Amino acid sequence: MKWKHFEQHDDQNGKPVEETPQERMRSRMTEHLTEQLAMATALVEGRPYAATRTVTKKNEDGSTVTVERDKRLRPWYWHDLSGKWFLELRYANTVLSLAKDQNAIEIGTKDKLVPTIQTVIEAVNAGELDAAMNAALASRKKPGKAA
């Protein structure tokens, strides 16, 4: 796993430059949307998609080995019985509220799925969904204190 906020370095002293919380929030959302884009592209092309992640585990002899495992991804898109496709955006395990009483984007046909996700990625990078992502973070339950 790469830590994106440590990849950039200051040219003067070589220390890592940390991302701001807003940049980190946008980069996480962009990563998840890129995974959804790959899944949607595979769906439109009619081929299977399997994302993998790297896991470190111990072998029978006790040595540590890195192994690639399948990653469980849930699609953020679906279709209804009439064939209309929809896309919901999720952040912090919460569905984003895009407008009042609206939490999904109606796409129409399956062919428009990939361009719609690309447009959403551009909107996230431009900061247009920052308010919705901040609201999703604020709505999460705070962990309680141990008694």
Neighbour-count burial for 103-112, b at 16+ CB within 10 Å, e otherwise: ebbebeeeee
Report the mean per-residue pLDDT for the chain. 86
The pLDDT tens digits of the residues spanning 109-122 come to 999 999 999 999 99
Find the range with the poorest average confidence among 2-16, 22-36, 82-96, 125-139: 2-16
How many alpha carbons lie under 13 Å from residue 112 in its C-beta half-sphere? 12
Query: Do residues 107 and 113 make contact, with C-beta atoms less than 8 angstroms apart?
Result: yes
How many alpha carbons lie under 13 Å from residue 139 in its C-beta half-sphere? 14
The pLDDT tens digits of the residues spanning 70-113 come to 988 899 999 999 999 999 999 988 899 888 888 999 999 999 99
Tokens standing for residue 16: 């890592």
pLDDT at 13: 62
